[in-house]
Structure 1
Amino acid sequence: MSDAPKKMIMGSMAASGIVAALALADIAIGVPFRGSMMMDIMFLVSAGLVLFLCWDAWKDLR
């Protein structure tokens, strides 16, 4: 099997992890976005959904 799907899954997991970390940092210290709390919560929810979908796709590749 090609490594492309695995690399895409890992890249998506990394990107959603970065988004989640930045949203948590914004909630905790107000940096980097200085946006609304609602947007930070939505970023966290969407990052969690992407992580779940990546984990499920990773299981299917095994």
Structure 2
Amino acid sequence: MPKALTIVGMGVAVLLLLIFALDLLAGVPFGGVSWMMDVSFIVCAGILGFLAFTTFREQK
């Protein structure tokens, strides 16, 4: 079960990164209201993906 949760965490990180990168570049989902919010969510998605990946590697 914990391995599945880390895979889901990586999936959520990729999804968040795609949504907010698309909003930053094209302004599609949220209308590009705040670029600072987009950048901060992209950074947070990267951190979540990194943490999920390192946890996935540590599990047997």
Separation in 1, partners of 2:23, 2:12: 17
Deviation, structure 1 residue 60: 0.9
Separation in 1, partners of 2:11, 2:3: 12
Superposed, which structure 2 residues align to 1:1-62 within 5 Å? 4-34=1-31, 35-62=33-60
Cα deviation, 1:17-54, whole Å, max 9, x if unaligned, reads 10100011001110101220000000100000001101
**Unpaired segments ≥5 residues, structure 1:** none
Deviation, structure 1 residue 55: 1.0
TM superposition score normalised by structure 1: 0.88
Quick check: which has more Rg, 1 or 2? Answer: 1
Question: CA-atom RMSD, angstroms?
Answer: 0.8
SS at match of 2:28: coil
**Unpaired segments ≥5 residues, structure 2:** none
In the TM superposition, structure 1's runs of 4+ consecutive aligned residues that sit over 6 Å from their partners are none
Matched residues, number: 59
